[in-house]
A = this chain, B = another copy of it.
Amino acid sequence: MRPKRRPSRQNDPAGLKRKVLDAAFSMFQARGYNGTSMQELMAATALSGGALHHHFPSKKSLVLAVFKERVAPAVRETWIEPVRAAASLGAGVQSVFEQIIAGLEGRGAVSGCPLNNLALELSLADPEFRAAAADVFHEWQEALSERVRDTRGGRDLTKSARAEIAAFIVSSYSGAMTLAKAEQNAKPLRSTAQTLKRWLQSRQLDS
């Protein structure tokens, strides 16, 4: 008697999709979007081309899903939620830098901020990639801007002045992460955290 054939359709499509997104997020982070082929993703996930294409008909649809379902949640978890939960903007920013520095030093390698990496690699290539990156940057800055309003120095500022402060925090963090990646060393993040701390204090934006 021949054994019954196993159903050829995948029984856990959500799990499969998760697996592809996890692999793509980590490979894009390590080698970049253009440095990762769909073939390598198939090998890393042990999926057939057909199964991969069923979920993500193109590499473009895959990276857009990575922005939405991996990069944006990473920024929420690393930056937005801790800053919202902190006693003040200043305390939140410091604790985020400390967590990130501790993580880098634990891993012994600096692969950089996933949003930074993909935004720089892809923003010129395609308007949808650019919009996906800009959306995440906006959400991040919006959350910081809200916390600026809660501070002594920030409560009477205009919306646009608060937005400038948020953009400055994001810029100095992103740039420090670029330096840290080029040096493979957390020192630029440590030094930027110190300078930002003093700057926030001097403008009464820390409490």
Contact = CB atoms under 8 A, between A and B. Distances in A.
Interface of A: 30-32, 34-35, 109-112, 116-117, 119-121, 123-125, 130, 133-134, 137, 163-165, 167-168, 170-179, 181-184, 188, 191-192, 194-195, 199, 202
B192 A171 contact: yes
A66 B116 CA distance: 22
A138 to B, nearest CB: 9
Given A35-B121, A168-B191, 18 more contacts: A34-B35, A111-B124, A112-B124, A119-B182, A120-B121, A120-B181, A121-B121, A134-B182, A134-B183, A137-B179, A164-B195, A165-B195, A170-B175, A171-B172, A171-B175, A171-B178, A175-B176, A175-B177
A88 to B, nearest CB: 19
Contacts of A31: 34, 124-125
Identical subunits present: 2
A167, A183, A199: residue with the most chain B Cβ atoms closer than 10 Å: A167
B174 A191 contact: no
Given A174-B175, A182-B137, A199-B199, A35 B125 contact: yes
Given A124-B30, A125-B35, A178 B174 contact: yes
A130 B34 CA distance: 18
A111, A123, A182, A192: residue with the most chain B Cβ atoms closer than 10 Å: A182
5 contacts: A31-B125, A112-B124, A120-B181, A167-B192, A170-B179
Nearest to A30: B124
A29 B133 CA distance: 18
